[in-house]
Every structure is written in C-alpha cells, then in structure tokens.
A and B are shown apart, each in its own frame.
Chain A
Amino acid sequence: MRYGMLIDLNKCVGCNACTVACRNNNGTPAGVSLHKLLKYEAGVYPNAKMKFRPMPCMHCQDAPCAKVCPTGATVQRPDGIVDVDANKCIGCRSCITACPYDSRQFIWDFGDYYEQAQPTRLEQKRRLEFQKGTVVKCTFCLTRLQQGKVTACTATCPSQCRVFGDLDDPNSEVSRAIVDKGARPFREELETHPSVYYAGG
C-alpha cells in the first residue's frame, strides 16, 4: 500500500478551492498553508497564459526531510505518507531547507485571520492542534484516510483534476490514470521519487 495522487493540470482552473479545503479540514492557523497553489506564466504575449500547479507535499519515497531530521520526528509510514510528530520536533528547520518542493512550514507565531478581531472559538480550538516553534506539513489528510475518505483537496476539487489512491495497486484508478495520461512527478530529476504525479500543464 502506497498512497499517491495524480493531478491533471489540464483540468485545474486555479480556483484555490483545494487550498481552502485543506485549511478548513486541518484548521491551520493564519499564515500556515499545508497546500499551495503556484501561479506562473507560460508563453509570450500574445500567446501567454496563466497556469497553475497545486502543490501538496509530494510524499517522496526517498524523502530528504526524513533523512535530515535530527530527532526522528519526520518519519515515512509504511503507507508512504511522510508524517511529522509535532511532539518530537525541535524546530531546527533542517527539513525546510532540505525539501526541494517548499512543502513545509514553520509556525513562527499564531497570527489572526482578521486584523482587529479576536480569533473565533473554533479557531481557538483548532489552534490547540498546532504547536508554535514546530514544523507542519501535508499528511494526505490522515484522519480522513482513517475514516475511509479521500483527501480534502481531492474531494473538493470542482474540476475533478485529482485522483487519489494506491500506487502499489496497478489496477487502482490512480495507477491507471497515471499510465493513461503519461503523468510524471514534478522535478523528478531530483530522484526523490514523489508520490504525487502531474499530467499535462
């Protein structure tokens, strides 16, 4: 069993719903985003266009972040998910410098979503799940997976550009989609063997 994801960039409309769903599901504090959407320009005027690349953690098989973690707080689970134990993280930020995908974030401080306003009760409650001075990252929505659901970003995508599933099963929807669409990992030349594949773009 190895969880993985396919993102079809030809279908992505850059609406950022995945980022919002991720924040909602994980209750991340203001300024912390476990999922990013890169915007970039392709081509030159008059044939230029805006493109988007959703960036969850790549859950690399040879995860550089796990290699450099001095305390063993970052581990790779048997199902391929790279997870961080916040209670063991010393906040050295070695993993942030080692990650070539910019997938990790350090909680410098707990900011507020709205200036001049106190955090809501829900925000205060969800904030307890995070520790200031530690590193956080996407975990493919572990709690949702344990409930038999797919990740929040996959579930919410309005253009259904994501397929989530087991990469080890050649007959799974995600494996077949990767083959059919000729999907490749982003920056695969780094040889970190990501579990997230991109088609088109």
Chain B
Amino acid sequence: MHHTQEDLQAPLHETAHRPSVLHIFKIYYPDLFGGTLTVIRDICASLKDAFASAVLVCSQSAGPRELVVNDVPVERVRSFGNLFSLPTAPTYPWRLWRRIAKHDLLALHAPFPLADLVFALGFGGSRPLVVHWHADIVTHAGLRWFVQPLMRRTLRRAKAIIVSDHVLVETTPLLREFDHKCHVVPFGIDSSGYDWPKLEPHHVNDRGRLVLACGRLVPYKGFDVLIRAAASRAFEVWIIGEGNERPRLEQLIRELGLTDRVRLLGSVSDSERVKLMCLCDVFVIPSVTNAETFGLVQLEAMAAGRPVVNTALDTAVPRVARHGMEAITVPPGDPEMLGYAIDTLIRDPERRRRMGVAARTRALTRYSAAAFREGMETVYRNAVAAPSPAPASDTERPRPTEWMESVRIAAALAWSDMRHRYVRSLLGPFWMSLQMAIVVAVLGSVIGQMSNTGMLSRLPMLALSMTAWTFLNGVVLDATTALQNSASLIRDRALPPVVFLLQCTFRQGLFALHNACVPLVLWLVLSPHDVSYALAALPGLLLFVACTFALSLVLGALATRYHDLKPIIESTLMLAFLASPVIWSSDMINQRAIVLRLNPLTHLFAVWREPLAGGHVDPASLVYVLVTLALLILASVLTLVQLRKAAFWI
C-alpha cells in the first residue's frame, strides 16, 4: 500500500499550486460507462488547469487498485458485489477518511450512502465539501428512511450543492431544505466533435427510419418500452449500451419478432457513438423513472443536430430538449405514444430538420462546455475559499450545551420522581427496599430447597442480581410509556424526547441504589468481603447500565411509535427473567445449554458477577456483550435521528 500512496502524491507535488479535488463516487472507468461517469470525467478534464483531480471509487474487478484514467489518478477500493445497487466495499469509508486530509476539496457525487456514512458521522470536517446531486434514490425507495437522515447530514455540511437543473430542487424535498446552497450548473458538451461536414440530414441517409437510443441496459432506461413501440411500426431501432437487462431485452425482441429491425449494439467507442448519433434520424430517450435526471445522451444527440423524443419525467429530461421545439415529449412508459411520436418525426423530414437545427443551437448556446467549466470552477473556487466552520457551526455548536441541559433536566425530573415516591406511602422511605428484602428471603429459601449447596453464601449475589434485574426491567418498562406520559412537556414545552428516556434510567438508577442496601447488608454480613472484587466488577456494571440505557432508548421509541410493542416487550421481559440466570446461577444447571449461551442476558450478568465472585470473565462473554453494546449504540443513533419525529407519535 505504501508505494501506491506515493504514486498518488507524485502528481500533487508537481502542481502544488493547484488545489486538489477528490471526486467520490461508487464506480468509475473502465468498469462502467454512463452519464454520471462522463460528467466526472468532463469535470476532471475541463478543470485540469485550475484543479488537480483525483477519484476514489469502488471496483469489483480484480485489476490494479491504482490506475490513471485520462491523466487522472483513480483509486479503486475492492468491492464484493452490489447490494441494493450499492457496492459492498467495507473498507471504502476507511479509505475515504484516510484520503480526506490529502485534498483541498471533496466532491461527492450523490447518491452514494457509503460516503454519506463517513460525513454523517462527522469525519472529514476539516475539508470543504461540494455535493453533485445526480439523482434521488428511486429504485430502492424503501431504504430511504435509513439513508435520508445520512444524506441530510451530508448536505447540511456541504458548502454547495450542484444540480443540473433547477427543477430537481423543486421536486426533491430533501434539496428544498437546502435550496440556498443549490447551484444550477447545466451539463455542457464540447460540440467540436460533432461538427461533421455532412451534418445536413438528407446527406446522412435517405431511408429516413433509423432510430437511436443510448444508455446502460438497466430497467429505468425504459428500453423495453422503445422495443414495444417498434413492434407495430416500421422504423429501425439501434440501442447502444451494455447492462444486465440485456438477456431480457433480447428475449423481448425475439418474442416480438423484431430481430431484423431492432439491434442491441453493445458498448461502442466514443467516436463510433458520435458517428452513429450523426447518422440516425431520431434520437430517443425512453427513460421511465426520475432516476434519469438530465439525460446527457440527449444533449449529445442535440449537439449532433438530431431531433429528440423524450419522456415527461419530473426532472430536467423534458427541459433540456423541450416539447415542440427540440423534441417531442411523451408520457413515460407508454409504447403507443412513443411509437406515434417517433413516426410523426419520421414521416416529416422538414420538421426533423427544423428540430435538429434548433437542438444543435440550444446545445451550443445553453449547454456549452465553456459555461459548464466556468460554473463548476466558480462553485469549486468559492467552496475552497469560504471559511470552513461558518455554516456548519450554526447548527452544530449548541450541541454540547443542549446535551448537558437535557441531562440536567432528566436528572432533575428523576430526582423529583424519587423524592415523591414516598409521598402518601404507609411505610415511608425504603419501603421498596423492604420489599426487595422479602423477595430475596423468599426466593432464597425456595432455591435453597432445590439445590443442595449452602444457600446463605448465595444470598448476597441473589439480592444483587435481583436489584440489577429490577433496574433493567424497570428502565425498559418505564421507557415504553415515558414519551406518552410526558406528551405535554414534549409538545408544549418543546423538551427533547430523549430527556424522558434518560429520566427512566436515572430514576431506576436511584431506585436501584435504594434497593442496593439489601445486597450490601447481606454482603457485609454473609461474605468474606473483599473490596478489590467489587472494584473489578465496576467496569462490567458500567457495561450493564450502558446496554440497559441503549436498549430502553430503542424500545422506548419503538413502543411509542407502534402500540402493540408494549405488551410484547412486557411478556418478553418476563420470559427473559425466567430464561436467564438471575435467580438461579448457571452452575446450577447444564452449562452447555444452547439457549443459555445465546441469551445475551447471561453474558450481560456474567461480565460483572464473575469478577465479583472472584472469578474471571469468560472472554467470549465480554466479546458478546461488547458486540451487543455496539449494535445497541448503532440502533440508538438511528433512534435518536428518528426521535425528531416523536412529537407526531404521541
């Protein structure tokens, strides 16, 4: 790995005066060809005098990790295939984090949740970030609840958001929140490559029936619609591009009997593509979902002077080539209308010529490569020049004090709960401790009957276990109703909901301290008290409390949102009490019992009971507890994000 990093440094050194930009995306040449990649490549190429570009992506191929594509160094992180259209590259966040400090500007090409993860967790705050918004998540919309909070955090931190058309800001709720940061920079096209001398349509061919489409063979491109449209018509369709839809499309072509008129050309070289664009009569972009935000290929076709047939998506697609001027726009997914529009153009050479000229004019004037470069350069320069903490601090700075305030209020509420617990009580303070003493005495005698070992020596541990269990049980049960019970404070005094979940832990903690006098007395009386054992048990107890709090946070929020969870949680706690070594200890029964070993509570109790009894914690238990805690913390973080909406639930 060492030598590769030096390789990356080399181009940076020779041009130290240029700020360096790291482009962050999921995939890059030569693994794939497509619109977004063209944009990244064009940005790198057109800004090469002002910025030194580098690219960090994932790759499934076993090829070299470092390579140079069009003079741009590309680092490819190993990915193990795609999950929900996203590369599974576990080391990507780490690599990204390592690379951030080496660059002056980060350009994230969204959507790419893997990178959002890094920014959302607050890493890379030292470098300005620009987000290129290419598309919303359309295909796996079910993941949105998980990904959207991450994306929001990334956007909050971004200096600027670049979109290709203003309509994207209007139709994307997430972008509307940040519309003051959005900059519209339409993609540009270098039209010089399309300056063929024989641009006049009648020179190209006189059959008048070649229809071209171009794009990766993926479902949202809608090529199946185009193929169906060709079925009842007479024109010829050529489709450029490769992708995993290919077998299905081929089958469709065979089924419709169109093998002589519809051809899948596969990948072709850039120059070949330009030639085909100049050759065809009508260019079609039949995309069916909003994943198609701009349609760079239609811009290329426009530069080649072709009339376009596109679809009425809520994106820039029908605005780049406008209905009646450069294009005919049809409803997405409607083969009949699509075929009719294509036929209209094919039957009318004059209209085709007129639209082609209009398209070329629009491509040259409105979407020139020079304007694109200028727009990008301005945004990048401003982002690099802007003072770093300005916009971020607005929302981030009050965080620690807000947290402290929440903890303070939760503590005050818990303290008040504790004080008022003895209001109108018969026995006065410590009646709960008395109850605990009775429980321990009864349970102790019963269990003493069942096992033949001396019960007296077990009593302190039994009392302490019962106290700990009462704490866990109480915290989780209280949490399931805490938000409901404090609805008025949340809605009318705008206290953060997390306060009341914290309150449960604090309150039960205070109660547990009261109850703890029972095991304390028993311990002092019945055991050879060794203080060092007690100290050794403290870290384990902390783990226990942390797990309890995280669990109550997650379950408390869930039970507020879904009302049927409360009885489920209650009965599960009862079951857990019986199935865990709380009142019995694991040495009383078969230690290899699989349920016992899988039960996280076994290990959660073991991490502090073993050292207290003078033994050693089983490393497996420790690992088990730490993994549980890590999962719970992750779930808690997600819960805290969702708790913003708690006021809607109560």
Q: Do A and B bind each other?
A: no
